[in-house]
Structure 1
Amino acid sequence: MIQIFIVDDNNVALAGLKSFLRNNRSLIVTGEARDMTGALKAIDPKSVDIAIVGLDLPDGSGIELCRRLQVEFPGIKCVIFSAPADAETLTRAALAGAFGYLTSNLPGETILQAMHMVSAGRLAFDQRLIEILIRHVRQSAAIESALRELTFRELELFNSVSDGHSSQQIAERIGIAEKTVRNNLTKLYAKLGVENRNELVALSAKLREGLIQPQLCNNPRGTRSAA
């Protein structure tokens, strides 16, 4: 018997999920909560094998709850149950230790199979989301390759823009003309496949969150070159 704890504040999704789970003899719902705080207080690790968690909770995200469960109750496997997600959300869920991500419109048979897969220690991500993840991985690989080829000056510009410095501030700090900074930034955007400063800052945020994990400047020639 697989013991399930449900965390969701969506009444319709909650009722439908409970009804389905309770009609399957191999599963048993041992508890429920509507937010992260309530879940962490109510969960008894001895009576929970899998926590099915909504993505958006009143006091946090399902992804953060998965992360907390991994730390506080490492024996409990977490599955996100929500609407289809983008690649970044899926990546965050995986990094938080989620064993699965299921969309709420999946057939009951698929959900049942996923519960048995997760109980056995296997991952169960909605097959329709796999393509999104694969595209994200390929895009990340291309970005990582580009980052490794950056020169020392380009890395300096990348970090300065990421820290919120204007072109004028960067020019004054490193002792070059502001026009040269703008020209070098244009080249940097092209290398990294971004259109402007905002997209460069967004890329930096992904790096800092661990959504992309490159080894910067593996090219030894890049460490001495000037852009």
Structure 2
Amino acid sequence: MIRIFIADNNIARFGLKSLFENTPSLTVVGGASAAAQALESMDPRSVDIAIVGLNLPDGSGIDLCRRIQMISPGIKCVIFTEAADPETMAQAALAGAAGCLTKNLPGEVITQAIRSVAAGKLAFDQRVTEVLIRHVRQSTTVCKALRELTTRELALFDLVSTGHSSQQIANSLGIAEKTVRNNLTKLYAKLGVENRNQLTELSTQLRNGLLPVRLHDRPQSKSSAA
């Protein structure tokens, strides 16, 4: 028997419980509507799989998945979400989730996915898999570009992502504002972004561990400055 704990809103819990109650070898052993409640009430000795809603009232399901994996690595987590966007999928995988399913999937697909997870396999529906593959390919290209940034480009990246204006960057680096704009154009092209907002989003992904690169780990030589 596969023992399931569901951490999600009442509607999702009721729907999943009804589905699993009518499915051989699957049983719901507990549930919670919030992350803190789930951590408090979940008994790792009696749970095989935790189905975790993406948006909980007291935090992210991704964070709850990460906590569960730290405290009880024997429990396999499946993120349950409304939509399959690349950032959510990447975060779920990095948090240790064994699967990520969208709520509009047919019941038989969900139950088969749960059985696959229980058997030690990953369960990402086809659309999610395509999104993940595309995201990984894009991330690989971006990570390569990030590792090749010069000292000047690293400084620009840091200053822009922390909200500095072109004039402030010029003052900080001791260069003309026009030079800042020209260098930013080259930086955008190198990283495959179009503007400050996308560059800041890229910085957020780095801080959240969504890209496997640490910009300041590699030594910088004077010759690398642009």
TM-score by length of 2: 0.92
- In the other structure, the counterpart of 1:141 is 140
Are 2:76 and 1:77 aligned? yes
TM superposition shift of 1:219: 10
Give the 5 Å matches for 1:161-172.
Answer: 161-172=160-171
Tell me which amino acid in the other structure corresponds to 1:109.
E
> Which residue pairs with 1:57 in the alignment?
56
Note if contact 1:144-1:215 (Cα within 8 Å) is conserved in structure 2. Answer: no
Structure 1: which 5+ runs fail to align? none
Q: Which amino acid aligns with 1:3?
A: R
For 2:189, the aligned partner's letter is A
Distance 2:13 2:219 in 1: 55
Distance 2:163 2:96 in 1: 32
C-alpha spacing 1:87/1:223, structure 2 compared with 1 (3 Å): farther
State the secondary structure of the residue aligned to 2:112: helix
1:127 is matched with which residue? 126
TM superposition shift of 1:218: 10
The CA deviation string for residues 6-65 of structure 1, in whole angstroms up to 9 with x for no partner, is 111142x32221111011120111111111121112111111111111111111121111
Which residue of 2 is the match for residue 6 of structure 1?
Answer: 6
Structure 1 residues 217 and 40, CA, compared in 2 at 3 Å: closer, same or farther?
closer
What residue in structure 1 maps to residue 97 of structure 2?
Answer: 98
Decide whether aligned partners of structure 1 residues 218 and 46 sit closer, same or farther in structure 2, where only a CA change above 3 A counts: closer
Paired with 1:37 and 1:196, the residues of 2 have a C-alpha distance of 38
Q: CA deviation at 1:173?
A: 2.1
Aligned twin of 1:186: 185
CA separation of 1:37/1:221 partners in 2, compared to 1, >3 Å: closer, same or farther? closer
Q: List per-residue Cα deviations over 1:68-93 (Å, max 9, x = no partner).
A: 11122221111112212210011111
Aligned to 2:35: 36
Paired amino acid for 1:56: N
Identity %, equivalent residues: 65
Are the counterparts in 1 of residues 142 and 191 from structure 2 also a CA contact under 8 Å?
Answer: yes
The structure-2 alpha-carbon separation of the partners of 1:145 and 1:112, relative to structure 1 and needing over 3 Å to count, comes to same
- Equivalence for 1:112: 111
**CA displacement, residues 169-227 of structure 1 (integer Å, 9 cap, x when unaligned):** 22222221121111111111111111111211111111111111236599999862443
SS in 1 for 2:84: coil
Give the 3-state SS of the residue equivalent to 1:105 in structure 2.
coil
Q: How many residues align?
A: 226
Distance in 1 of aligned mates of 2:44 and 2:149: 48
Structure 2's unaligned 5+ residue stretches are none
CA distance in 2 between counterparts of 1:226 and 1:8 reads 50
Which amino acid in 2 is paired with 1:61?
S
Report if the CA contact (8 A) 1:189-1:195 is conserved.
Answer: yes
Change (3 A) 1:209 1:131: same
Distance 1:28 1:218, change over 3 A: closer
Q: 1:76, 1:218 → 2: CA distance?
A: 33
